[in-house]
Amino acid sequence: MKSAIGISYLQSLAWVVLFVGMTMSVSLIVHLVFFDFIHGNPHRTSKDVINMIAFQVPLMGAIAATGAFLVFTLPQIFQAAAIVILNWMFGNHARFAVFQILPITAVLTWYCYDYLTPSWIEYEHGISGSRYLATLVFQTAATLFSVLHFEAGFRGISKKPMLAATLAIALMAGGFWGYGTAQDQIRLQSTTTPPA
């Protein structure tokens, strides 16, 4: 059982990292399409945008995936270890205790984000209520995915429906995020562009 838990949480970490990279990639593509092609950004040519999609998007997706790996690896290890220990102490149903330890896991996730990922802008380290809640939301999503992934393997059912649903959520989240950033950029450009 111990090795099954470790393997499942390692696999779910790999899926989370992949989905984060895909979300970032979709977000950038949607942003570029809406801001540069549909809105008509006068500062970039269509060729520049296509080159950005071909070269910059995969790079940014890989960077986002690397960041997700740095942020979620220790929390995944912590949760897997907690399940192994609780399973040994209380039996099979103890695997659901990851939801009870989620507030602690979120603190570990926040720490990994705050101190293990590089920041290119000036950033004040430390936890606040809003940072903790944001971290708790993301960690809850990762934990729920990991639990569902493990349960599918534990019960011997196909993981394909869960993976397909998570893929759809990641693609939609990336699309909405990219559309939102494009709209923000369009508003910013319209307020800074002098009238003709």
Which is nearest to 106 in space by CA: 83, 127, 82?
A: 127
**What is the DSSP code string of 73-124?**
HHHHHHHHHHHHHHHHHH-GGGGGGGGTTHHHHHHHHHHHHHHHS--SS---
Residue whose pair of structure tokens reads 């995020």 in the numeric block? 177
pLDDT of residue 193: 60
- Rounded CA-CA distance 2/157 in Å is 19
Vertex 53 angle, CA 188 and 58, to 5° = 110
- Rounded CA-CA distance 22/80 in Å is 25
Question: Strands (DSSP E) along the chain, which ranges?
Answer: none
Let me know: does 110 contact 135? Beta carbons within 8 Å.
yes
- Rounded CA-CA distance 107/110 in Å is 5
Let me know: does 20 contact 173? Beta carbons within 8 Å.
no
The two three-digit tokens of residue 57, written as one number: 């998007």
What is the residue type of 3?
S
pLDDT of residue 33: 92
The two three-digit tokens of residue 87, written as one number: 């399973």
Is pTM, for the whole model, over 0.75? yes
> How confident is the model over 40-51, as pLDDT tens digits?
777 788 898 899
CA distances (Å), origin 94, targets 21, 31, 82, 106, 154: 32, 43, 9, 19, 13
Q: What's the full length of the chain, in residues? A: 196
> How confident is the model over 91-147, as pLDDT tens digits?
777 788 899 999 999 999 999 998 888 876 666 778 888 989 999 999 999 999 999
Tell me: pLDDT of 196 over 70.
no
